[in-house]
């Protein structure tokens, strides 16, 4: 059994301030993610759901960073600055909000699809086309 979690957040291109170790947000872009997760994800309340979603998204960004910059010698990288997560109820899930135009990302890197990720119990994930989500 699975459930859908909607995550609304702000993604940023972060740059490291040399010698200080501070990560400064160079850009700020609103993002919407839809995660199909094991039903236990939302069982411990909103705060725990948001902690779990943030850790999961940080791991996704780290995988992307390692793929694009394996030596980590680029001072900039993408990360999540802030986010809110909630479990969609049955009616909301049936309405398939990930197909609505306002939830499509504006950047061409995502090929015009929303961020739909199917998440396994061990947090492994795969990107899923919205029609198949």
Mean pLDDT rounded to a whole number for the chain: 78
Is the confidence at residue 118, as pLDDT, over 80? yes
Of residues 58 and 103, the one with the higher pLDDT is 58
Per residue in 19-77, pLDDT tens? Answer: 665 666 667 778 888 999 988 887 888 999 999 888 888 887 777 666 666 666 566 66
Tell me the C-alpha distance between 75 and 90, whole Å. Answer: 43
Contacting residues for 41 by C-beta, under 8 A, at least 6 apart:
3, 5, 49, 52, 53, 87, 119
Q: Kindly state the tokens that stand for 101.
A: 């135009």
Q: Which H helix or E strand runs over 3?
A: strand 2-17
Q: How confident is the model at residue 108 (pLDDT cuts 50, 70, 90)?
A: very low
Contacting residues for 14 by C-beta, under 8 A, at least 6 apart:
23, 24, 25, 26, 76, 77, 78, 79
């Amino acid at each position: 059994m699975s459930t859908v979690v909607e995550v609304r957040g702000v993604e940023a291109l972060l740059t490291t301030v040399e010698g200080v170790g501070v990560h400064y947000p160079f850009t700020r872009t609103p993002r919407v993610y839809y995660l199909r997760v094991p039903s236990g994800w939302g069982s411990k309340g909103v705060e725990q759901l948001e902690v779990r979603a943030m850790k999961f998204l940080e791991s996704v960004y780290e995988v992307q960073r390692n793929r694009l910059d394996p030596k980590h010698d680029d001072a900039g990288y993408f990360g999540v600055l802030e986010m809110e997560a909630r479990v969609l109820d049955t009616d909301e899930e049936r309405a398939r909000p990930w197909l609505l135009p306002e939830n499509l990302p504006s950047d061409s890197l995502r090929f015009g699809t929303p961020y739909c990720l199917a998440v396994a119990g061990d947090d492994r994930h795969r990107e899923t086309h919205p029609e198949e989500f």
